[in-house]
Amino acid sequence: MREIAGARPFPFRFDPAATALIVIDMQRDFIEEGGFGAALGNDVRPLRAIVPDVARLLSVARAAGLPVIHTRECHRPDLSDCPPAKRDRGAPALRIGDAGPMGRVLIAGEPGAEILPELAPRPGEIVIDKPGKGAFHATDLSAHLARLGTRSLILAGVTTEVCVQTTMREANDRGFECLLAEDATESYFPAFKATTLDMVRAQGAIVGWTATVSEIAQACTAPEAAHG
Ligand code: TIU
């Protein structure tokens, strides 16, 4: 077992052989100008700022031999997996499926739906295309985690209070021990990120733990404790 002694709200213990990293939606559509996030009226620059931290977390996980799972929020070209309630909500500059500067917004296979090249999945890593905010809804994520023998999840990605938190709550309800990498997740709204971190670790880790990438790296590279 490994321990992140400084994890919040109390030390997080995990077995690397039963732990996976899941990186949520580090896609051009959320992080670059002209994508879905910008079309919703957001400043995308804070999301771009965490790319080096997510890259470092990916390196740590790969070096430690943890399975890496990437997700992409996107829909089929015919929008058959996009509920009208999702597409029609609000008044964005571009709706899901509309043609934008990075192709059709949040459509599988379009440039905007791709993961940033700096964070691209490596051969053999799992990529989950998800039509919802949570990564378990209408995907085969549960089957992948069962096959891998995963019991603990380290989460990162965007946005903290939408797709990351939804996925963390889905995972927590399914019995996974969840740790959110504080500096490898970001929101368009700084206050929402801070409050989400508070929410997940409140009430005795009601949803899970948080720790920094450095703390996670230290735990992954430390010698195994003699008592196991
Ligand atoms: N809008 C927003 O904050 N997020 C999303 O729509 N999707 C994800 O969080 N990936």
Mean predicted confidence (pLDDT) in 34-59: 97
Mean pLDDT, range 8-29, rounded to an integer:
98
Q: What percentage of the chain exceeds 70 in pLDDT?
A: 98
Instruction: Give the pTM.
Output: 0.97
The pLDDT tens digits of the residues spanning 157-200 come to 999 999 999 999 999 999 999 999 999 999 999 999 999 999 99
**Residue 227: what pLDDT?**
54
| Cα 56 to ligand 1 centroid, rounded to whole Å | 22
Q: Tell me the per-residue pLDDT of 81-121, one tens digit each, with 9 for 90 and over.
A: 999 999 999 999 999 999 999 999 999 999 999 999 999 99
Q: Which residues contact 64 (CB under 8 A, 6 or more apart)?
A: 16, 220, 221
Q: From the CA of 73, give the closest atom in ligand 1.
A: 10
pLDDT at 74 over 70: yes
162 CA closest ligand 1 atom index: 9
Query: CA–CA separation, 100 vs 131, rounded Å?
Result: 19
